[in-house]
Amino acid sequence: METLFVFYDHRLVGRLIKNADATLNFSYEKNWIQETGSFPLSPRLDLEVDKVFDNRVTRSFFDNLLPEGKVREHLEKYTGKSLTDDFQFLRQFGVDCAGAFLISPDEHLAKNKVDQEVDEINIEELVKAYNEHKNLMSYVVENHNGRFSLAGAQGEIKRHHQVDFCQAQGFLSGEKYEEDGGPGLKENFNCIRMLSSSYTHDAQKYMNWISFNLLIGNNDCH
């Protein structure tokens, strides 16, 4: 059994467990649940004391944090390791996941330790790489160990919690497309209806976003 620890603003939120059969489970720390202002990782991972979430629900959140395609390929090239195991990917890069949570094998993760591992990079350096037609992900991986912050912004950027439609509804990353069993417009509108405090406003914004992507030919909305 292997364990990764999930943090928000360097407060311990819960534990991600990899079992001997490669299934994953997640459970919250009691202190996090009892803390004022605490919130669930996703609607499917509701705040419950002593509850152990099953493999599918757990993966529906954590698998959808991970990059795909060329980004993953560049990181594999940099580390020299296969990162097809999502748990091992989180072990290696969990402090850099999208959203507000940090994931680490270190139960006593300290903010200054995370900050010390991050290289600062000037925006001019990125612009120069872009103008030289370099792949920015490859450039950062090769020159800054895959971890950077824009110079002057380190320690000032507040990470915000967010979930996508797959995480909110419990779909795995391999099910993100409707033809693969993922959510369609109907399911997403129902999700907005259940979770939004302003359904009409948010549903209209979602419809505008879908319409814009269709008009520009970006049919998968990426």
E-strand ranges in 9-160 read 11-18, 24-28, 101-104, 119-121, 148-150
Q: What is the pLDDT of residue 174?
A: 85
CA 44 – CA 166 distance, rounded (Å): 10
Q: What is the pLDDT of residue 137?
A: 66
Q: What is the pLDDT of residue 77?
A: 72
Q: What is the pLDDT of residue 190?
A: 94
184-193 contacts, C-beta under 8 A, 24 or more apart: 185/210, 191/165
Q: What is the pLDDT of residue 117?
A: 60
Domain ranges of the chain: 2-104, 119-150, 165-215
Beta bridge partners of 25: 17
Q: What is the pLDDT of residue 151?
A: 44
Question: In tens digits, what is the pLDDT along the chain, a chain of 222 residues?
Answer: 899 999 998 899 999 999 999 999 999 999 999 999 899 999 999 999 889 999 999 999 998 888 776 777 777 776 666 667 889 888 888 887 777 899 999 998 866 566 556 666 777 888 888 888 877 766 776 676 655 544 444 444 667 888 999 999 999 988 888 888 889 999 999 999 999 999 999 999 999 999 998 898 887 766
